[in-house]
Structure 1
Amino acid sequence: MTADVAGGPTTEQQSRAAKDAAYRVHNILRTHSGETVPLHDPQDDELTVPRAAAELLRQILSAMAAGVPVSVIPAHAELTTQQAADLLNVSRPHVIKLLEQGEIEYRLVGTHRRVLASSLRAFKESSERRQTAAADELTRLTEEMGLY
């Protein structure tokens, strides 16, 4: 299940509303440190949501305020190789190579490969950590050589 929250470019009015709402949710999160967070509807009825849900809402609103399309995918969702490629912003053949090299966990359904969204996220986070470490090392070497 994928829910396109932004569904494409946001209008200026949507961006402003999302920015205001993100700011308000951020302030609520700052002032409530518990596992749940109270939100209020127009009739001032309280809605208590898990802190993680409020944080996710803040992130979605911040992305919408910046005009970035947002998709929400459950961690247990199984993705096709094309969907995985789209999320990683790489080609499908590259994803298949990563799967066959054991970089990303997958399972076969008949002859089709299926990737758990959680496995894809773990790969992406690991890849970003490696990239950051490589950039830090390059910066260190550049400074050590006096080139920076």
Structure 2
Amino acid sequence: MAGATLQQETYLPEADTQVARIYDFLEAHERVGRGVPEPRYFLAGATPGDQVELPAEVYRAVRQVVEALRQGLAVTVVPQTQTLTTQQAADLLGVTRPTVIKLLDEGKIPFERSGTHRRILLRDLLAYRQQRRSEQYAALDATGVKLDDEEDLESALQQLREARRAVAARRRGVRE
């Protein structure tokens, strides 16, 4: 692979049992490895002793690719730089570039300036995305209402309205 160029590539699942065998191997090793401080995984060549240890991030990537292929999904690998432009950050977050600039100006995502351009570290953007998802799940959970079989619908709707008001007030920064 020396000299291999990095490019976006999509891998389609094949109808053979190789992916299933890899999945079974990885699954079995994860089950056995529980309780072991640091599981180690190796990529083996054709001859005995021809192997290299996989770093944890490579193992996680392989694990995710195998799981997706096992489920019949295509997988696209897109090499990314570790420093992103505001447009790349917007694309990754699924928002507009002005929204990213607003988040940067509000201090919600750290960034560096390179001349007049803003540059965002990929790890900072991913941390922000995870934090945002956690907040969204918490907001969804807060608006949930547990219904008893004996509770009437009007009471449940009232609880839901109150939960929504509380979430909206928290968003505005108002404490009740």
TM-superposed deviation, 1:102: 1.1
- Mean CA deviation greater in 92-101 or 120-129: 92-101
Task: Determine if the alignment matches structure 1 residue 69 to structure 2 residue 91.
Answer: no
CA deviation after TM superposition for structure 1 residue 73, in Å: 4.3
Determine if contact 1:29/1:37 at 8 Å carries over to the other structure. Answer: no
The aligned residue for residue 124 of structure 1 is: 129
> Partner of 1:11 in structure 2?
12
One-letter amino acid matched to 2:78: S
What residue in structure 2 maps to residue 92 of structure 1? Answer: 97
- Match in the other structure for 1:57: 62
Counterpart CA distance in 1 for 2:69 and 2:89 is 22
C-alpha separation between the residues in 2 aligned to 1:112 and 1:38?
Answer: 41
Q: TM-score, normalised by structure 2?
A: 0.64
> Structure 1 55/136 Cα, relative in aligned 2: closer, same or farther at 3 Å?
same
3-state DSSP class of the match of 2:29? Answer: helix
* Structure 1: unaligned runs, 5 residues or longer: none
Partner of 1:82: 87
Question: In the aligned structure 1, how far is the partner of 2:106 from the partner of 2:17?
Answer: 45
Whichever residue aligns with residue 30 of structure 2, its letter is L
SS of 2:14's equivalent? helix
Q: Deviation of residue 123 (structure 1)?
A: 0.4
Residue 106 of structure 1, aligned match among 99, 111, 115? 111
- The answer to whether structure 1 residue 136 and structure 2 residue 122 are counterparts is no
SS in 2 for 1:62: helix
Matched, 1:43 2:47: yes
Aligned equivalents of 2:80, 2:156: Cα separation in 1 = 46
Q: Tell me the amino acid that sits aligned with residue 21 of structure 1.
A: I
1:22-42, Cα deviation, whole Å (9 max, x unpaired): 443233333333522244334
Q: Aligned partners of 2:80 and 2:45: how far apart in 1? A: 26
In the alignment, residue 146 of structure 1 is paired with which amino acid? A
Hey, what's the Cα distance between the residues in 1 that align with 2:118 and 2:89? Answer: 11
Give the structure-1-normalised TM-score. Answer: 0.74
Matched, 1:146 2:151: no
Mapped contact 1:82–1:92 kept (Cα < 8 A): yes
Aligned positions, number = 141
Identity %: 30
| CA distance in 1: counterparts of 2:15 and 2:111, whole angstroms | 38
The CA RMSD measured in Å over matched residues stands at 3.1
